[in-house]
Amino acid sequence: MSEKKKFNIEYEIKSSPRILYTFLNEANGLTQWFADDVSVRDQIYTFTWDDEKQNAKLVTLKENKLVRFKWLDDEPQCYFEMEIIQDELTNDVALSITDFATEETIAERKLIWDNQIDYLISTLGA
C-alpha cells in the first residue's frame, strides 16, 4: 500500500468567515454540501454517503477559522482540514483544504473536493 501524501487546494468563496464556519463544523451545515447525512456525538462526526458511513473525530477547532477532522479508520498521520483564510487588505475569503491521498488518487480526491466546494458555494449563494 503506497503512503498517503498531503495536498492542499484553495478556493475563493464570497462569504463571511462567520457564515462559512457554520458550514464547516455544524452537522446541519455539513449535510448541505459535504455529505448526505452528518451526525455528531462526543466530538465524533459520522458522515454518510450513499448509505456508507465514515467516522471522523474533530481534533482541532478554531472559531470562524479552522476545523480539522481525523478519520478513525485512516493512517495515524492523516487528517482533513478546512481553513478559512481572509485577506487583511481586500477582505477576500478563501477556503483552504488540506487532505491526504495516495499518489494515484490525489487527482481524484481533488476532483471530489472541487465538486463538494461547488455545492458549498451554491448553498451559500455566493
Neighbour count for residue 95 (Cβ, 10 Å)? 22
Using DSSP, state whether 64 is helix, strand or coil: coil
pLDDT at 26 over 70: yes
Average pLDDT, stretch 22-40?
96
Angstrom distance (rounded) from CA 100 to CA 8: 9
Fold classification of 4-124 (topology level): Alpha-D-Glucose-1,6-Bisphosphate; Chain A, domain 4 (3.30.530)
Tell whether pTM > 0.85: yes
Specify the pLDDT at position 2: 75
